[in-house]
Structure 1
Amino acid sequence: MGARGELFTTQVYLDNRSYFFNVKENRTGDVFLQIVESKNRDGVEADRHQIAIFADDMQQFLQGMEKSLDFVEKDRKERAKNRREKREAKDAKYGAGKKMYRVKSSKGEKSEKIDDGIKRTGKVIHIVSKKEISE
């Protein structure tokens, strides 16, 4: 047994967070799982949060965790399906790969498509052709 009652420990490192899974034994002999999250903050002292799950409650904890993981996976698949259907509907309506742009109008008026000779692609504006100004 370790100096702080540690029986087993493992670590998971992510981008700016670390998770520690420590199996410990307290002074009365109760075994528990301690989960610690350590988050780095711009060179400042790390935030640390921890929870403890006692051995008697681990099965219920794991059941709750499994239900949560199942929901997350189901929700992820459903969102991907909705994005795909929305993209397919847009492609069917406007044609694949085409983008529609609308010119903002003043308050309360409905915007209409206007061909002003400017091709808009995201943040960059490309001039397609210059309109001749008659004098």
Structure 2
Amino acid sequence: MAIRGELFTNQVNLDNRSYYFNVKENRNGDIFLQIVESKIKDGEERRDIVVFADDMKDFFKGLDESLTYIEKVKKERAKIRAEKKAAKAAKFNPDGAESEKTAKKVYRRKGESRLVAEKRAEKKDDGIKRTGKVIHITSKRNADSEKTEY
């Protein structure tokens, strides 16, 4: 037997918590699982639960049912979100053409024809967002060196 009756230990580290799964044996020879949550806050906070070998089957059955329910709810919610998204897309785009996000809106400039505006919009997108505002950046280093003569 190892220190304090530990037979096996497994550690799972997450963002601000660590979980320890310790299989132990007490003085009477009973084997049990100890689950310890260590939370790092202002100090170190630890919580643990103990499940004895006789109760493990029922414990893990309840845990498995809970996990199955969680997966079921996640799938249902994902399905509902997909249906809402499809309904919204159908509402705003009933003819089934391009979706609202992928369709590029073309705005005409004053005095510009629609064909010229569409041709301008077809230009390759280089990833730069042009807002029409001009920003001039000058280097202080160059400005200072020009003023100083040696």
TM-score normalised over the length of structure 2: 0.61
Q: Give the SS at the match of 2:40.
A: strand
Aligned twin of 2:31: 31
Q: Which amino acid aligns with 2:31?
A: V
Aligned twin of 1:10: 10
> If you compute each CA radius of gyration, which structure gives the higher value, 1 or 2?
2
Q: Give the SS at the match of 1:47.
A: strand
Which residue of 88, 97, 101 maps to 2:100?
97
Q: CA RMSD in A?
A: 1.4
- Is 1:76 equivalent to 2:87 in the alignment? no
Q: Which structure: greater helix fraction?
A: 2
Aligned twin of 2:64: 66
Q: Which amino acid aligns with 1:38?
A: S
The number of residue pairs the alignment matches comes to 97
Unaligned runs of 5+ in 1: 99-126, 128-135
Distance of 1:92 and 1:47 partners within structure 2: 51
Identical-residue share of aligned pairs (%): 60
Distance of 1:39 and 1:97 partners within structure 2: 45
Runs of 4+ in 1 over 4 A off after TM superposition: none
Q: Which amino acid aligns with 1:89?
A: A
- Is 1:20 equivalent to 2:20 in the alignment? yes
TM-score normalised over the length of structure 1: 0.68
Distance of 1:91 and 1:47 partners within structure 2: 48
Q: Which structure: greater strand fraction?
A: 1
